[in-house]
Structure 1
């Protein structure tokens, strides 16, 4: 049987679905089925907690000794959620970590969903060993972001909310995958919007690597080659499992420095 130090449970809470699985922390792979339930309508705290319990019960780990990490779509600081992306406004300035720990009867590690996806890609994916500044973006209902410098996570970057001057919309309203679906754009038309977004982020931060995550990353061959950037841009390896893997990877209370294998310049 694998040690509880080499396996952990990750839960990824999103606006439409709540996913979970058991993760091998040495390989960065799921060693169980990925369990998914729908996010309850309105996504209020008590209902989300019930859904998380359902995922843990289905995985048969509710009473296990595995460490548990939980990813959530909000700014997370000192265990409190300071925003609410596609969930109830009741999460704003809410003691979420304590709420989950008391409701589940166990300690957890609680973090922003895009940040943990970044952790997964740095430890086990497209950004492993990358030096300098890596910016991961998740393209979905919104645009999540993670900034990692020489293996150290800079949390809660929220680069999906960069404002488009004179347009009255932020970046994710204009360029998220949901905008492509909403406005019935083809890949070329959507790539034109992404070109604006990534060029703007590139100008502001001069990153060394972009990693594109979210479910749409499986279609990277449809749009990444259409972007003209100075910065290398790669699809995420773990796609929609990145939140589960990253949450599990942080569940043992790891230090902010994520990867000892960073290649220095």
Structure 2
């Protein structure tokens, strides 16, 4: 697959449960335009969502590559789960290939928290990203490179609730901000013990509702920062190619 050149322009798309957002980045992740957004249809089918993306970007400047963050488990551009969009309609759908055909440009698709993580991490040590929105997203990076994705959102945290159930948008609406903050504090304690991260980044629309003091190695990030990960996503190939070359020479 073609590598990113120093002059490539990258269309970076963030698919969320409430909105689809997009902008154009340069090769270093700087925004070349303000990001635009459009409402995500309720439980959209794949073809419908691709049409929404085409509508959103119809007036965008020319771009060379496409990076997409998707709210679910993604492997090699294929969707396995889409808890906030409808897994039944999406399971097994090759979003990368279909978008590449629809937009006519090389396309990469990863989990949305993974792409946000690429946009915000410092690239030093073991860094973890969580997103607090419709659900609970997570990403793990070592020295700036993505590690295999884990869908912690689907893991049980109580006998009857997953992380999505416990700390997602519906829980916030049902329990209120005070109890939701207590739950988040409890979750952070678990993450700190289990993963022993060097830095934890917290993003997503509900991160602004945090009311308690965070540790010094925990940082609040914005969606605007996260969408910049669309440029770094293409640079991950360099590490993958190096690993492949080392294995071939053994």
Correspondences of 1:39-188 after superposition (within 5 Å): 39-59=40-60, 61=61, 64-88=62-86, 89-122=88-121, 128-131=122-125, 133-166=126-159, 168-186=160-178
Q: Which residue of 2 aligns with 1:263?
A: none
- 1:98-153 deviation per Cα after TM superposition (whole angstroms, max 9, x unaligned): 1111222222111111000000012xxxxx1432x111100111110110112221
Taking structure 1 as reference, are residues 211 and 256 closer, same or farther at Cα in structure 2, changes over 3 Å only? farther
- Which consecutive aligned stretches of 4+ in structure 1 deviate over 4 angstroms post-superposition? none
Structure 2 contact 6–27 (Cα < 8 Å) conserved: no
The count of aligned residue pairs is 235
List runs of 5+ in structure 1 lacking aligned partners.
Answer: 123-127, 258-265
Q: Which residue of 2 aligns with 1:37?
A: 38
Alpha-carbon distance in 1 for matches of 2:204, 2:112: 11
Correspondences of 1:197-216 after superposition (within 5 Å): 197-216=187-206
Structure 2 contact 129–138 (Cα < 8 Å) conserved: yes
- 1:65-102 deviation per Cα after TM superposition (whole angstroms, max 9, x unaligned): 42211111121112211111211321112122111112
Q: TM-score, normalised by structure 2?
A: 0.84
Taking structure 1 as reference, are residues 179 and 97 closer, same or farther at Cα in structure 2, changes over 3 Å only? same
List runs of 5+ in structure 2 lacking aligned partners.
Answer: 241-250
- 1:195-233 deviation per Cα after TM superposition (whole angstroms, max 9, x unaligned): 22111122222211111111233455x33x0x5x6x821
Alpha-carbon distance in 2 for matches of 1:243, 1:45: 23
Alpha-carbon distance in 2 for matches of 1:98, 1:129: 29
Q: Which residue of 1 aligns with 2:14?
A: 12
Q: CA deviation at 1:160?
A: 2.3
Q: TM-score, normalised by structure 1?
A: 0.80
